[in-house]
Structure 1
Amino acid sequence: MTSFPELYILRHGETAWNAEGRMQGALNSALTPAGRLQAERQATILASCNLEGFDILTSPQGRAFETAAIALARQVTHLRTDDRLREIGVGEWAGKIRRELPGADAFHDGPDGALELYENAPGGEGFAALEQRCTEFLASLTQPSVLVTHGITSRMLRSIITGAGVAGLDGIGGGQGIVFHLKNRMQKRLE
């Protein structure tokens, strides 16, 4: 069984497009005031964690990088980006309002959106490719790390680590303004 280093995983704070129910994927939208408060809440959570020796990695997408800057400003002096932490590609549905997409009304719209929409987006990345990207990323980690990423990518990383796999994406939990701590293949939600 694969072992993984200790990780703290954060999703970016709420963006204008999150509030509107838009698919973002590779596109970007600014953090809302609520999103900046969520990043501050993550900073408060992380202030009680000893991050000495931890690598700090963030998605290069603006919403994640801004969240990382706010959430980690009290403890680190620099952020390193890794493109493998970017959000799942949603192809032709990037920028579209979720509830207006074909078949959207058939799916449960949870804290990270209806997961099936991310799998079925025309020209999108899909879960198999995202799982491969995240598996390769996790295999490259050599030390405990803080990862700042996105809703679906966070779910996939945590599903791989806990052994839940793609089938466990829906049940792994999500949300903004929180931190997930993963150690010894176990996940703990910090609020």
Structure 2
Amino acid sequence: MTTIHLVRHGEAVWNAEGKYQGQADSGLTELGHEQAHSAAAWLRDSFPRIDGVACSDLPRVRDTAAPFLTAIGHSPQVDSRLREIDVGSWAGRTFEEVATAEPASVAAAARGEDVRRGGGETFAELRRRVVAALDELVASHQPGATLVVFTHGGPIRVATAAALGVPIPGHHPIGSPDNCSVTTLAWNPRRLLAFNQQTIGTR
């Protein structure tokens, strides 16, 4: 059984400011860097054998992965398909600003409709690219490998939906995982082993 440990990035500036982020990047806060170091220690203690590491190419994820990669001496497979969902024109705007400007779209998203946020991606599109990236990552390692993937909340939600066999897009019933939490999936066959595990130092 190949196991994938999905790690959400540490707190970013726009997380703290209540802003949509998507594929834009605001950098980690001081707390976010602290969370990254705590998560690195938790991962080393919890999973002493790691066969491979992959990460999104966005700075907040790569900065989150850095302490763990330094500790284990691995180089990651960097894959842009592991990026957060593209929220288009919503990026960098507060939740309140967008709700005021586009109430119908925000209400539809809240109901679970797979709207194209800010003209960006749908969750169905996100799920297809994330699952393709994970399929290729797993295929590049021996069966039974233990893999760590540093990514974002949206990709973790759709990967979890895929592991549970929830029809596409599948994101709506699955809440956003906390910063630097770890969600563990079996990938062949797919199933959810643990969701939103807390690492020391998160909040």
In the alignment, structure 1 residue 18 sits paired with structure 2 residue 15:
yes
CA distance in 2, matches of 1:117, 1:164: 15
Greater Cα shift, 165-174 or 27-36: 165-174
CA distance in 2, matches of 1:178, 1:18: 15
Query: Pairwise mapping of residues 29-178 of structure 1 onto structure 2 (< 5 A)?
Result: 29-50=26-47, 52=49, 54-101=51-98, 102-103=102-103, 106=107, 119-140=115-136, 141-142=138-139, 143=141, 144=145, 145-165=147-167, 166-171=169-174, 173-178=176-181
Per mean C-alpha deviation after superposition, the further-off stretch among 80-89 and 45-54 is: 45-54
CA contact (8 A) 1:38 1:178 kept: no
Q: TM-score normalised to the size of structure 2?
A: 0.78
Q: Is the 8 A contact 1:41 1:71 kept in 2?
A: no
Which range is displaced more, 50-59 or 154-163? 50-59
User: What 5-or-longer segments of structure 2 have no aligned partner?
Assistant: 199-203
Deviation string for 1:99-138 (max 9, x for gaps)? 2112287589xxxxx6969844131111121121122122
* CA distance in 2 between partners of 1:136 and 1:27 (Å): 22
What percentage of aligned pairs have identical amino acids? 31
Secondary structure of the corresponding residue to residue 170 of structure 1: coil
Higher radius of gyration, 1 or 2: 2
Aligned to 2:192: 186
Instruction: State TM-score, norm by structure 1.
Output: 0.83
Tell me how far apart the structure 2 counterparts of residues 18 and 89 of structure 1 sit (CA, whole Å): 16
Decide which moves more: 67-76 or 15-24: 67-76
Question: Once structures 1 and 2 are overlaid, which stretch shifts more, 162-171 or 38-47?
Answer: 162-171
Alignment size in residue pairs:
183
Secondary structure of 1:74 counterpart: helix
In structure 2, how many angstroms separate the alpha carbons of the residues matched to 1:31 and 1:107?
30
Indicate the RMSD between aligned Cα atoms, in angstroms: 2.6
Gaps of 5+ in 1: 109-113
* C-alpha distance in structure 2 between counterparts of 1:8 and 1:75, whole Å: 15
Kept in 1: contact 2:57–2:79 (CA 8 A): yes
